[in-house]
Amino acid sequence: MGLSVELHLPPDIHVGGGVSERAGELAKGAGLSRVLVVTDPVMVDSGVAGRIAGHLEEAGIATATFSDIHGEPTTDYVDAGVEVLREHEADGVLAVGGGSPLDTAKAISIMATNDGPLPAYLGYHKIPNPGLPLIAVPTTAGTGSEVTRVTVITDTSRDVKMMILSDHLLPRVALADYKLTLTCPPGLTANVGVDSLTHAIESYVSAKANPVTDGFALQAARLIGANLRRAQANGNDEEAREALMLGATLAGAAFSNASVALVHGMSRPIGAHFHVPHGLSNAVLLPTVTRWSLDGARARYAAIAREMGLAGADASDEEASEALVDELDALNADLGVPRLGQLDGVTREHFDRVKGDMAEAALASGSPGFNPRVPTAEEIVALYDQAW
Ligand SMILES: [Fe+2]
C-alpha cells in the first residue's frame, strides 16, 4: 500500500571494461553525424579524448573538441562551449572526463536548444525543451553524472552553485568504462570515491527513497566500501576499479531518483565560496553530517552498515549505525581526506564571515529537506564548525 516508484534513467547504460570503444557505433545508432566532444586539458594530454573522438570519426561522425574547462564547471565554460557547438553545427554532444566536463556538457546540450539564460533553469524541471543527444563517458568513479538528470554549474556573476534538475539533462547513452579510471590519481580517486559513497548513503536515507533506488544504493555502498582503499593504494587494481565504477554508476542512478540530502546541501556553498572540488567538499563533510543525522533513521543507517559488513545481523540498530560512522571516520583518515579547516584556500576568517550565508544557501537548495533529520540554519553552522 502506498508504494510509489518513479525511475528516470538514460535509455542506454553500458557498464564494463572497454565499453567506451563503442562510442562511434552508439552515436551513429542515436542518429548523430556531427558531434561536439566536451572534455578537459588532462583528458586531451593523456590521449583519452582523442581516442574516443577517433572512435566517432571511424563511424563516419565529424567531431570538434571543446576542452577549455579548468576545475569546477561555470556559466563561462558553458557559454564558450555553446559557441564551439554552433560553429561546428553539432547535432549531438559527447562528454569525456570527470564531473566537470560531464556537467558542462549537459548544460551545453540544453543551451543549444533553449533560449536560456541558464540561471533561469535553476531548481527542478524548469528546462522547456530537450537538449541535443548526449553521450557521457566518465573517467572517474565518480560523480555518477553519466546516469543522472542533474547538473551543477557555478554562476560566475554571483558565486552560486546552481543545482539544476530536469529529465532533459539525462544523457542518451552512458558508457561507464572502468579502464578509463586506471590512471585516475590517488587523491582524486579518494575524493570522488567518498562522494559516490555519499550518494549511496544519502539516497538510501532520503525522504524520497524507493525500493528500486534502495537496491541500487545498498549495492553501491557495498561495492564502494569494499574497494575504495584498494583502488587508492593501487590504481591498476582492475578488480577494485571495476567494482568502484559499477558502484558509482548505481549510486548515481539512486540519487538522481531519490535525491541527495544534507551533505550535498552543505557541500555546494563550500565549493561556491572556496572553489573546493565537489568530491572533496562532500568527503570532508560526510562523517560529521552522518553522525548528526543518525537519530533520524537509525534502522536505515544500520542496514547500510550491515550491507557493508560493518556489523553482524545480531547487532542492534544503535550499534550498527555507530559502526557506520566509525568506518566513515576511518575511511577518511586512511584515504587522507583533510578536515574542512585544512582545505587549500579556506581561512578561518573568511569561513566565519560566510558560514551564515552558506547555511542559508544550503537550506535554499532544498537538499537538506530530504535528510532524515532536518536542520535549522543555526544547526548547519554548528555542523560546519564541527567539520572544521
Ligand atoms: Fe556528489
| Separation of CA 371 and ligand 1 centre (Å) | 15
Please check whether residue 281 is in contact with residue 267, taking contact to mean a CB–CB distance below 8 angstroms.
Answer: yes
Q: pTM value?
A: 0.95
d(CA 34, ligand 1 centre) in Å: 31
Cα–Cα distances (Å) from 2 to 33, 94, 210, in that order, read: 46, 40, 11
Q: Strand 123-124 vs strand 92-97: parallel, antiparallel, or unpaired?
A: unpaired
CA distances from 75 to 106, 118, 155, 282 (A): 12, 8, 5, 22
pLDDT of residue 159: 79
**The pairing of beta strand 34-38 with beta strand 150-155:** unpaired
Distance CA 81, CA 108 (A): 6
Long-range contacts of 357-362 (CB under 8 A, 24+ apart): 357/269, 358/266, 358/269, 358/270, 358/273, 358/384, 359/266, 359/269, 359/384, 361/160, 361/268, 361/269, 361/272, 362/262, 362/265, 362/266, 362/268, 362/269
**Whether 95 contacts 102, CB under 8 Å:** yes
Q: Tens digits of per-residue pLDDT, 285-304?
A: 999 999 999 999 999 999 99
The amino acid occupying position 154 is: T
Q: Other C-beta atoms within 10 Å of 100: how many?
A: 26
Q: What's the CA-to-centroid distance between 382 and ligand 1, angstroms?
A: 22
Identify the three-state secondary structure at position 371: coil
Ligand 1 centre from 144 Cα, in Å?
8
Farthest-apart Cα atoms in the chain, separation: 63
| φ and ψ of 153, to 5 deg | -125, 130
How confident is the model at residue 1, as a pLDDT? 55
Contact status, residue 260 vs residue 207, Cβ threshold 8 Å: no
Cα 282 to ligand 1 centre (Å): 7
Residue 4 Cα to ligand 1 midpoint, Å, equals 25
Per-residue pLDDT of the chain (388 residues; tens, 9 = 90+): 578 899 999 999 999 999 999 999 999 999 999 999 999 999 999 999 999 999 999 999 999 999 999 988 999 999 999 999 999 999 999 999 999 999 999 999 999 999 999 999 999 999 999 999 999 999 999 899 999 999 999 998 987 889 999 999 999 999 999 999 999 999 999 999 999 999 999 999 999 999 999 999 999 999 999 999 999 999 999 999 999 999 999 999 999 999 999 999 999 999 888 989 889 999 999 999 999 999 999 999 999 999 999 999 899 999 999 999 999 999 999 999 999 999 999 999 999 999 999 999 999 988 999 999 999 999 999 999 999 9
Ligand 1 centroid – CA 1 distance (Å):
32
Give 195 Cα–ligand 1 centroid separation in angstroms: 5
Rounded to the nearest angstrom, the distance between the alpha carbon of 272 and the centre of ligand 1 is: 14
Give the whole-angstrom CA distance, residue 47 versus residue 78: 23
Grid cell for residue 216: 541500487
Residue 321, CB half-sphere, CA atoms under 13 Å: how many?
Answer: 18
pLDDT of residue 324: 98
Kindly give the distance from the C-alpha atom of residue 330 to the centroid of ligand 1, in angstroms, as a whole number. Answer: 20
Q: pLDDT value at position 200? A: 98
User: In this structure, how many other beta carbons lie within 10 angstroms of the beta carbon of residue 42?
Assistant: 19
For cell 566537470, the residue is 100
How far is it, in rounded angstroms, from Cα 87 to Cα 161?
A: 28
Distance 200 CA to ligand 1 centre (A): 10
Grid coordinates representing 84 are: 564551439
- Rounded to the nearest angstrom, the distance between the alpha carbon of 279 and the centre of ligand 1 is 6
Helices (H), the chain: 23-29, 41-45, 48-58, 75-88, 99-111, 186-205, 211-233, 238-258, 262-274, 278-293, 298-307, 317-335, 348-364, 377-387
